[in-house]
Amino acid sequence: MENFLIRELKPQDWPSVWSILQPVFAEGETYAYPTDIQCDEAQDEWVEKARVTFVVEANSDILGTYYLKANQPGQGSHVCNCGYVVSGKARGRGLAKAMCLHSQRTAAELGFKAMQYNLVASTNVGAVALWHKMGFATVGRLPGAFCSPSAGYVDAFVLFKQL
């Protein structure tokens, strides 16, 4: 794996981040956002509603991004939630693992006690395997909760890890 840097998103990074997110959201296989989500709506979801958003950069090229936010307000705000996306051209190079490790350290530094992924499509086999390898447990199965354009209604998992 080449050297890369995980750093906080800067406003000027958004066009590059959007170019990574848009095809993933449009595909509709891993995130529940509308497949026709517009740039400003995606920015609101990925950046504005997040506690912090990061990018993965190598050779001045943004290759991935993740957000970290409280999973619930008030009495659930000690548990965080994250979303990760790696550019199609950078998949298989360890960026998702690096972002997951970084997000866990960052979440703990911010005072979160646990991390939860609310809706991981069962068809997203690579992500499920990686999250399990990273110490997350599947704590729930939601029958038919995710509508995959290619596979129809599939189960979704809730994954959880104490920090």
Strands 79-86 and 114-121: parallel
Do 86 and 19 meet the contact criterion of CB atoms below 8 Å apart? no
Residue ranges per structural domain of the chain = 5-162
Helical H segments across the chain, by residue range: 14-27, 39-43, 95-109, 125-133
- How far apart are the C-alpha atoms of 63 and 76, rounded to whole Å? 31
- Other Cβ atoms less than 10 A from the Cβ of 83: the count is 21
Question: Which of 79, 81, 86, 78 has the alpha carbon at shortest distance from 6?
Answer: 86
Question: Which of 21, 31, 20 has the alpha carbon at shortest distance from 121?
Answer: 31
Considering the four listed CATH numbers 3.10.20.600, 3.40.630.30, 3.40.50.1000, 3.40.50.1110, the one that applies to the domain covering 5-162 is 3.40.630.30
Spell out the per-residue pLDDT of the chain, length 163, in tens: 468 999 999 999 999 999 999 999 999 999 999 999 999 999 999 999 999 999 999 999 999 999 999 999 999 999 999 999 999 999 989 999 999 999 999 999 999 999 999 999 999 999 999 999 999 999 999 999 999 999 999 999 999 999 9
- DSSP-derived 3-state class of residue 151: coil
The pTM score is 0.94
The confidence score (pLDDT) of residue 92 equals 87
- How far apart are the C-alpha atoms of 16 and 33, rounded to whole Å? 19
